Chains A and B, each alone.
Chain A
């Protein structure tokens, strides 16, 4: 009955199912936790650049309320004091009134959350990282797979694999103490900035990208390269016309994986991006990214802020998921 064959099939099947269940459950959990914020802010969340901003709106009082207010002014004042303490926790109903010159209006304070700044910060820092690392990674990969003499291939290749294994916090520290002053010297602006974070991210994903790209270039059959040389191609032409097209899927894959890593990187970016909720007008301005917002704020968040953080996490999840999904779909389709 329970032959090894059967067992083997079941084990393989459940392992495959497990990963799907984990993926779906993360998605569902993020969505449920983010739901209050999604309902409250909707798509405006993606374009609103204010985070935890207190907004006051005037709402006219009904005649009954005016009466009630006049009769119990004392009481309201104490309530107002309470509301000062409670300012951090957003006021859901928004029905607290404060004493105003215009006593015919109710002043409603509430805290608005918008994710535009971290979303922009995440995308820009990832883009800077890609722009910096793709050309260099390609150069390293071409050198290692086609140009380097035998005695260099092993040590340089191993060094790159080791670099890929360094924990990100070390990149963050190195970036903060040595790289940031250098970036400031060259580009001006502040030391901790979008640019610094992007460049250090680029350095971080560089070895990873280079190693995978080299591996996929190495899968090009020798005979294919030889037949291009036999037509009179130079090394550059063979790399450009034969190796790159042949290894395209692997190279794109390495870029996408690195992009995923750049989008989600927390520690190194937290050190370097500045953690301010401001839209960067220059590349050298400090700003913030989604993972950094999450890491910095979860500790003391509750209410609206909590669900807004989950909303941001949800946005990051969907964004990474679709970036990888679309790229995979597009390039794998091209392969067939």
Chain B
């Protein structure tokens, strides 16, 4: 496997508990390091399902079935490890600290702005107040929200606007220095200005973090991403560099979708 890969999905299939048919079939998808990979496709195509498999958040609900491999690069040993083999809770926790996730709607916790960002650090066992303080500040600065909140760190995070809350959630994830950040339609609940701020932030973050983003917005995918995967009804139809997908798609289905003929 090439060194520039951080994650490699191989022959991956996924079936929800109690579902008659698998939602994802034989997905093969590489995720490149420090690049933005976008997943596009019509509703119900399985892109969010795939994203949620990458940090095994599906495992909060019992009975789902996985097949195949999702290999994640271990930066220390330089080897790929199949994260579908994880069974113990502490391994799940370690995985989720390495693979962060941002959801469709902002999800600030019912606590202060500072505590929101410090929460993940606290969970990771960082107790030294000075280190926490420094990391929180860096995360907030890195998420382009520091200037807006620096005077009200002790206030409840519920009082922020939607766009600020979403950047706070990114700061919260970034504070843990994840290797991969999964973004599940992070701007679909936001206004255009907040969306712009988030997009700017994403292109800033990819210097340090590999990013996988699910989006409904094709302009967003073409603006932001380096690679794009087009999915349709549980299958990966086409995967390539973003400009190839948008300008010169190989599949008819992809072309129809990116030109807006369906979806």
**Contact of A174 with B by CB under 8 A:** no
Closest to A242 in B: B109
Quick one: which of A194-241 are within 8 Å of B by CB?
221, 223-234, 237, 241
Q: How far does the Cβ of A276 sit from chain B's closest Cβ, in whole Å?
A: 48
**Contact of A132 with B by CB under 8 A:** no
Number of interface residues of B (CB under 8 A): 26
Whether A232 contacts B96 by the Cβ 8 Å rule is yes
Q: How far does the Cβ of B143 sit from chain A's closest Cβ, in whole Å?
A: 15
| Among listed B29-37, B100-108, B218-226, B235-243, interface-contacting one | B100-108
- Residues of chain B contacted by A237 (CB below 8 angstroms): 123
Q: How far does the Cβ of B174 sit from chain A's closest Cβ, in whole Å?
A: 11
Closest to B55 in A: A230
Whether B109 contacts A228 by the Cβ 8 Å rule is yes
- Residues of chain B contacted by A233 (CB below 8 angstroms): 93, 123
**Contact of B89 with A by CB under 8 A:** yes
**Contact of A246 with B by CB under 8 A:** yes
Closest to A229 in B: B60
Chain A CB within 10 Å — which of B55, B101, B105, B109 has the most?
B109
Whether A230 contacts B96 by the Cβ 8 Å rule is yes
State in angstroms the CA–CA spacing of A229 and B93 once bound together.
8
Q: How far does the Cβ of A174 sit from chain B's closest Cβ, in whole Å?
A: 38
- Residues of chain B contacted by A242 (CB below 8 angstroms): 109-110
Chain B CB within 10 Å — which of A227, A228, A237 has the most?
A227
Q: Which of B57, B62, B104 contacts A230 (CB 8 A)?
A: B57
Number of interface residues of A (CB under 8 A): 20
Whether A223 contacts B105 by the Cβ 8 Å rule is yes
With contact pairs A223-B103, A237-B123 given, residues A229 and B110 touching in the complex (Cβ less than 8 Å): no
**Contact of B113 with A by CB under 8 A:** no
**Contact of A245 with B by CB under 8 A:** yes
State in angstroms the CA–CA spacing of A228 and B120 once bound together.
8
Whether A245 contacts B89 by the Cβ 8 Å rule is no
State in angstroms the CA–CA spacing of A224 and B169 once bound together.
11
State in angstroms the CA–CA spacing of A226 and B100 once bound together.
11
State in angstroms the CA–CA spacing of A230 and B93 once bound together.
8
- Residues of chain B contacted by A232 (CB below 8 angstroms): 93-94, 96-97, 120, 123-124, 176
Chain B CB within 10 Å — which of A149, A225, A229, A231 has the most?
A231
Chain A interface helix/strand/loop/mixed = helix
Whether B119 contacts A231 by the Cβ 8 Å rule is yes
Closest to A227 in B: B107
Contact digits for B68-109, partner A, Cβ 8 Å, 1 yes 0 no:
000000000000000000000100011011001101110101
Closest to B61 in A: A222
Quick one: which of A137-155 are within 8 Å of B by CB?
149
Whether B176 contacts A231 by the Cβ 8 Å rule is yes
Q: Which of A229, A241, A246 contacts B57 (CB 8 A)?
A: A229
State in angstroms the CA–CA spacing of A245 and B109 once bound together.
9
**Contact of B131 with A by CB under 8 A:** no
- Residues of chain B contacted by A245 (CB below 8 angstroms): 109-111
Closest to B115 in A: A241
**Contact of B172 with A by CB under 8 A:** yes
Q: How far does the Cβ of B70 sit from chain A's closest Cβ, in whole Å?
A: 16
Q: How far does the Cβ of A255 sit from chain B's closest Cβ, in whole Å?
A: 18
- Residues of chain A contacted by B101 (CB below 8 angstroms): 226-227, 230
**Contact of B173 with A by CB under 8 A:** yes
Whether B109 contacts A224 by the Cβ 8 Å rule is yes
14 contacts between A and B (CB under 8 A): A224-B107, A225-B60, A226-B107, A227-B169, A228-B109, A231-B96, A231-B97, A231-B100, A231-B119, A231-B123, A232-B94, A232-B120, A232-B176, A241-B111
Q: A residues bordering B, Cβ < 8 Å?
A: 149, 221, 223-234, 237, 241-242, 245-246, 248
Q: B residues bordering A, Cβ < 8 Å?
A: 55, 57, 60, 62, 89, 93-94, 96-97, 100-101, 103-105, 107, 109-111, 119-120, 123-124, 169, 172-173, 176
Given A232-B97, A246-B110; 8 other pairs, CB 8 A cutoff: A224-B107, A226-B101, A227-B107, A229-B60, A230-B173, A231-B96, A232-B123, A233-B123
Instruction: Give 5 nearest A-B pairs by CB, closest first.
Output: A230-B101, A227-B107, A231-B120, A245-B110, A232-B93
